[in-house]
A and B are shown apart, each in its own frame.
Chain A
Amino acid sequence: EAGVAQSPRYKIIEKRQSVAFWCNPISGHATLYWYQQILGQGPKLLIQFQNNGVVDDSQLPKDRFSAERLKGVDSTLKIQPAKLEDSAVYLCASSLGYLNANTGELFFGEGSRLTVL
């Protein structure tokens, strides 16, 4: 079974530039998450989708971050304009998300490492 795919793996940009990350979850997983992991910290939830609807985006800095999940499959996370403090690894995860079939396990991709100079 293919895992969660993310791209690009690494990105270096200047502050105030824009960047986009792509995620392809495990086939059949209804729930998709974007987490931000700053060096030395635990993952922090940015946004969570159930199919193509947003479940939680309370910690997404909406003035600069946006995310979408068209057709309930792939997702993109965009940052515009980027700030120095956005330097982090952006992790995408997916889970089954169906009633009576959800073990609770999140499957993470390897992440996209962003460096903002």
Chain B
Amino acid sequence: QQQVKQSPQSLIVQKGGISIINCAYENTAFDYFPWYQQFPGKGPALLIAIRPDVSEKKEGRFTISFNKSAKQFSLHIMDSQPGDSATYFCASGSMFSGGYNKLIFGAGTRLAVHP
């Protein structure tokens, strides 16, 4: 299976700081790159996603930066808050003409934001 490599495995950030999580993919056919957030005991939930036709997407304090030539993308969390403490997964996938999508997830980054 095509891999999606995520780093770091864990991250500790002070409140108000910037959290940066990186992801690299292998398959150049991938055309959809989401980030999911997971709290303990819950299923992952979509945080933000990007398509390869743009290099950056921002939603509130969350920004995805995308580098197509390097096959890498990253999540930046500005002004990190204790409530952001969770596990973050990058994913890569393809959208098919039939309307469905297939996603491969990274291994996850456990973020702890200290007050």
Chain A hits for B45, CB < 8 A: 108
Chain B hits for A101, CB < 8 A: 99
Q: Which of B32, B41, B42, B100 has the most CB of A within 10 A?
A: B100
A100, B99: Cβ atoms closer than 8 Å:
yes
Chain A hits for B100, CB < 8 A: 30-31, 48, 50, 55, 95, 97, 102
User: Residues 33-49 of chain A: 1 if any B CB is under 8 Å from the residue's CB, otherwise 0?
Assistant: 00100001111110010
Majority-rule SS of B interface residues: strand
Interface residues on A, range: 20 to 34
Interface residues on B, range: 20 to 34
- How many cross-chain pairs have Cβ atoms below 8 Å apart between A and B? 76
B1 to chain A, nearest CB (A): 7
Q: Which of A31, A95, A104 has the most CB of B within 10 A?
A: A104
* Given known contacts A97-B99, A102-B95, A104-B95, A42 and B89 CB-to-CB distance under 8 angstroms: yes
A111, B43: Cβ atoms closer than 8 Å:
yes
Q: Which of A86-115 contact B (CB under 8 A)?
A: 91, 93, 95-102, 104-106, 108-111
B99, A30: Cβ atoms closer than 8 Å:
yes
Question: Is residue A26 within 8 Å, beta carbon to beta carbon, of the partner chain?
Answer: no
* Given known contacts A104-B34, A104-B49, A91 and B101 CB-to-CB distance under 8 angstroms: no
Interface CB pairs A-B, < 8 A, 25: A35-B105, A40-B107, A40-B108, A42-B6, A42-B89, A42-B106, A42-B107, A43-B44, A43-B105, A45-B102, A48-B100, A48-B102, A50-B99, A50-B100, A59-B1, A91-B43, A91-B44, A101-B99, A102-B100, A104-B34, A104-B95, A105-B34, A106-B36, A106-B46, A109-B43
